[in-house]
């Protein structure tokens, strides 16, 4: 797919999203094929949303994501321990600014060895199969390259077909050990293209987040005005009786 086609598809899907938001168009499942997905780098201010996302995962999904049966308490502890300075945490937001997909790229630098990173991801059940998991991995790879990371590592359960598909498609080497699979992806060195791509993708994601946030404020303002008008009308009606 050419860059021009990707841009056109992105503009087209953004337009549809605005129309869905404004109620002009009925909500339909987004078609993300060939569209640039806005992937937003998260910071500590998003912690409540990150927690809400992970707590919404079912017991089985938590097992797939963390490799153990993570309780609510484990999730709170994991979130409180997130290092936003060192690591990259990404989110994909829906129009209500709920995190529907998130990824954690944990950087592990040791002065004696080359820098490596571990990747973990989760997508809310209703938003799966749209390519969000794969796009988050691609986004993490760009950042890892720019941070001079030489290898990304993914730990997955062997039953986790979509995760293993994402790793395999990226060219990672898979090592299966019974119910567990480790995937290693060696990264090429950063270049001008990886630097510019990261800058552009970030700017697009930030602009998309601002638009969603402004639109959310506008619709909540409008619904408040409507509530007030209804209250006033109700009051007038009662005093007329
Ligand atoms: C793993 C997970 C993140 C995948 O997210 P997703 O957004 O649905 O993944 P994508 O839509 O990008 O699909 C990735 C690939 O898997 C394929 N796939 C999806 N579901 C599949 C299934 N049940 N069996 C086989 N392949 C499947 C897709 O077709 C796609 O391949 P393609 O690009 O060749 O078409 C999601 O299932 C999830 O959150 N699971 C729970 C947590 C978890 O397992 N995390 C991973 C451990 S770190």
Q: Residue ranges of the domains in the chain?
A: 1-36, 38-211
Tens-digit pLDDT profile for residues 7-33:
666 666 666 666 665 565 665 556 666
Q: Which residues line ligand 1 (CB under 6 A)?
A: 61, 64-65, 120-123, 128-134, 156, 160-163, 165-166, 169
Angle at 107 between CA 36 and CA 102, to 5 degrees: 40
- State residue 81 phi and psi, 5-degree precision: -95, 0
CATH topology of domain 38-211: Aminopeptidase (3.40.630)
Tell me the C-alpha distance between 131 and 94, whole Å: 15
Give the pLDDT of residue 208: 87
Tens-digit pLDDT profile for residues 128-158:
999 999 999 999 999 999 999 999 999 999 9
Ranges of residues in the chain whose predicted pLDDT is under 70: 1-34
- State residue 58 phi and psi, 5-degree precision: -70, 170
Give the pLDDT of residue 158: 95
The encoded tokens of residue 116 equal 């490596």
Closest-lying ligand 1 atom to the alpha carbon of residue 160: 44
Give the pLDDT of residue 237: 76
pTM here? Answer: 0.83
The encoded tokens of residue 182 equal 């480790």
């Amino acid at each position: 797919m050419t860059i021009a086609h990707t841009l056109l598809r992105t503009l087209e899907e953004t337009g549809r999203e605005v129309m869905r938001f404004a109620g002009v168009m009925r909500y339909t499942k987004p078609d993300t094929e060939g569209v640039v997905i806005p992937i937003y780098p998260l910071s500590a201010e998003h912690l409540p949303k990150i927690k809400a996302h992970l707590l919404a995962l079912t017991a089985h999904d938590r097992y797939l994501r963390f490799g153990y049966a993570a309780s609510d308490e484990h999730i709170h502890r994991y979130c409180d321990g997130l290092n936003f300075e060192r690591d990259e945490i990404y989110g994909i937001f829906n129009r209500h600014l709920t995190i529907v997909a998130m990824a954690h790229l944990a950087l592990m630098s040791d002065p004696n060895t080359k820098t490596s990173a571990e990747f973990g991801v989760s997508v809310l059940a209703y938003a799966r199969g749209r390519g969000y998991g794969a796009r988050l991995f691609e986004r993490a790879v760009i950042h890892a390259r720019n941070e001079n990371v030489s290898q990304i590592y993914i730990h997955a359960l062997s039953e986790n077909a979509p995760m293993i598909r994402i790793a395999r498609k990226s060219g990672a080497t898979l090592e299966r050990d019974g119910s567990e699979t480790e995937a290693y992806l060696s990264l090429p060195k950063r270049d001008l293209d990886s630097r510019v791509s990261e800058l552009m993708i970030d700017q697009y994601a930030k602009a998309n987040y601002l638009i969603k946030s402004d639109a959310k404020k506008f619709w909540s303002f409008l619904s408040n005005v409507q509530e007030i008008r209804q209250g006033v009308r109700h009051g007038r009606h009662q005093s007329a009786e």
